[in-house]
Amino acid sequence: MWTRWWLWPLVAVCTADFFRDEAERIMRDSPVIDGHNDLPWQLLRMFNNRLQDARANLTTLADTHTNIPKLRAGFVGGQFWSVYTPCDTQNQDAVRRTLEQIDVVHRMCQMYPETFLYVTSSAGIRQAFQEGKVASLIGVEGGHSIDSSLGVLRALYQLGMRYLTLTHNCNTPWADNWLVDTGDSKPQSQGLSPFGQRVVKELNRLGVLIDLAHVSVATMKATLQLSRAPVIFSHSSAYSVCASRRNVPDDVLRLVKQTDSLVMVNFYNNYISCTNKANLSQVADHLDHIKEVAGARAVGFGGDFDGVPRVPEGLEDVSKYPDLIAELLRRNWTEAEVKGALANNLLRVFEAVEQLVPSVSRLGTCMACRPQVFSHEKSFNPSLKIILTTLNPHQCPERQHLNCHPRNVPASQSPSRVPVTDLSRGGWEGARPTLEGWEFRQEVTRRQEAELEPPRGADPHPGVQADPKLHPSGPSLSGKPLELRGL
Ligand SMILES: *[C@@H]1O[C@H](CO)[C@@H](O)[C@H](O)[C@H]1NC(C)=O
Ligand SMILES: *[C@@H]1O[C@H](CO)[C@@H](O)[C@H](O)[C@H]1NC(C)=O
Ligand SMILES: *[C@@H]1O[C@H](CO)[C@@H](O)[C@H](O)[C@H]1NC(C)=O
């Protein structure tokens, strides 16, 4: 043992690195908010969501990119946990399996309250920063999880969904996925179908971030044009640096800049170098490129840890973020630019999405809230402010509605205890779009039955074969005997 202690100062001297120290200093104040981590998928795959299994202890969990000590070492202060169900559950048990993954995130946060703080707002993220915890949010990865139902969409919002990835590696009946651009999927919606446009509008109305990772370029453009708030790519890199269709091309990056949106860079080797091997410096090349084309305000991190089989040399797990920050500082990124990429850009986009809520909501009953100063108004995107003030003259009851938003609740109230939404936001409009969604799904189902019925036993979703993630395309659990899952 004594040799280890004796060696310590020597090791420290040898690895002394000004930029690494600077990275840690910055991250102590401004930890990283990562856009996409598939630990919940690993919990299902490895333990069938049984968190009490001794091997599933997140303090000692081995063989994953993510565990509690690694999150601490990596200064991870916010994480969108991916709630994912494979494409072959589409039109089968996707909704149930989505709920089960939401449940495992909730239980994970309850089991490790000293580490995780479950939050649903930008104010909640700031609260977690103050408490030194990992702000834990839910991102639902794949529009197939809503089963073409705006009612399901709203229910997922109530359960904590704060971003929805419009597709995974399969088309939904209303949005096309990136495999359309490689020729592996047939275009169906040419971007967004009319129902897909309703989905985007409903996400805006509710205050859910729209995630364009995994979608086709046409879907990216249609959504960037339609959304009234900035959007995110929760885990996508730059097409000009690595020509994978999962990445974002430059013309879309320019739209990202125009709309004040955000690209959170994916670390998967095959999206970084377009080969099986990659390193940290090549990830920094993507960050540099996005900064150059879309501006420093458009850059973030969405490592895709525990969702991909190969990660770059130097970025082996979630503990390595400070090394990447050190590399950006070495490349002359300013402290403000680095802080933007770490947290401030995501917070800015999330706040813009939250602030847009009243302007797109129908007249709801205004809750009896104290009038409050709009403390965040200063940080408005000017173009969004124009929309808001145009649609909401000062005396409009919706202005008061804005005060009811969790963001405006005093920080002394724990965000986890603040109601995540008020009932007025669904409003009387509720039933109508649900019916439309239902009719739409019926129509799609009829069409599929008439035209697309696959031969018996064939895989109806060949696109899933190209899934580069660990996600096995195993059979859906539909029709299997009832299992006791996730006890
Ligand atoms: C996980 O393991 C740690 C260290 O062995 C232990 O202190 C902790 O109680 C365990 N947590 C749970 C939830 O079992
Ligand atoms: C990263 O990989 C690239 C391409 O193989 C190589 O040129 C570069 O030297 C590597 N950088 C480091 C720091 O290993
Ligand atoms: C960073 O700035 C310094 C000083 O201006 C300059 O010498 C150096 O070449 C720059 N490095 C990069 C990677 O741009």
pLDDT digits (tens, 9 = 90+) for 30-46: 999 999 999 999 999 99
Q: How close is the Cα of 20 to the center of ligand 3, in Å?
A: 17
If you take atom 6 of ligand 3, which residue's CA is the nearest one?
Answer: 332
282 lines ligand 2 (CB under 6 A): yes
Please give the pLDDT value at position 346: 98
Q: Which residue has the higher pLDDT, 99 or 8?
A: 99
pLDDT tens for 146-199 read 999 999 999 999 999 999 999 999 999 999 999 999 999 999 999 999 999 999
- Output the pTM of the full model: 0.76
Q: For the chain, what percent of residues have pLDDT higher than 90?
A: 70
289 is catalytic: no
The pLDDT value recorded for residue 81 is: 98
447 or 193, higher pLDDT? 193
Specify whether the CB–CB gap between 170 and 87 falls below 8 A: yes
Angle of CA points 186, 240, 252, to nearest 5°: 60
Whose Cα sits closest to atom 8 in ligand 2? 281
141 is catalytic: yes
Q: Is the pLDDT of residue 337 over 70?
A: yes
Atom of ligand 1 nearest to the CA of 57: 1
Q: Whose CA is nearest to atom 14 of ligand 2?
A: 279
How much is the pLDDT for 314? 98
The residue whose C-alpha atom lies closest to atom 1 belonging to ligand 3 is 332
What are the distances in angstroms from CA 184 to CA 171, 214, 245? 11, 13, 11
What atom of ligand 3 comes closest to residue 331's alpha carbon? 13
The pLDDT value given to residue 1: 39
**Cα 284 to ligand 2 centroid, rounded to whole Å:** 11
Is 323 known to be catalytic? no
Whether 397 shows a pLDDT value over 70: the answer reads no
Calculate mean pLDDT across residues 46-75.
97
Region 444-459: what's the mean pLDDT? 41
For residue 59, the CA-to-ligand 1 centroid distance in Å is 6
343/365 Cα distance (integer angstroms): 34
- Assess contact for 170 and 209: CB atoms under 8 A: no
- Taking residues 115-124, report their average pLDDT: 98
Substitution candidate for ligand 1 out of 47, 57, 72, 116 with most atoms within 8 A of CB? 57
Whether pLDDT at 355 is above 70: yes
Look up 38 and say whether it is catalytic. Answer: yes
User: Phi then psi for 318, rounded to 5 degrees?
Assistant: -70, -5
Ligand 3 and 331: CB distance under 6 A: yes
pLDDT of residue 32: 98
pLDDT of 13 reads: 52
To the nearest whole number, what is the mean pLDDT of the chain? 80
In this prediction, residues 52-77 reach a mean pLDDT of 97
Ligand 2 centroid, distance to 35 Cα (angstroms): 26
For residue 6, pLDDT over 70 is answered with no
In this prediction, residue 270 carries a pLDDT of: 98
pLDDT at 189: 96
- Mutation choice for ligand 2 from 279, 288, 330, 331, CB with most ligand atoms inside 8 A: 279
| pLDDT surpasses 50 at 426 | no
pLDDT band, very low/low/confident/very high, at 14 (cuts 50, 70, 90): low
**Residue 487 in this model has a pLDDT that exceeds 50:** no
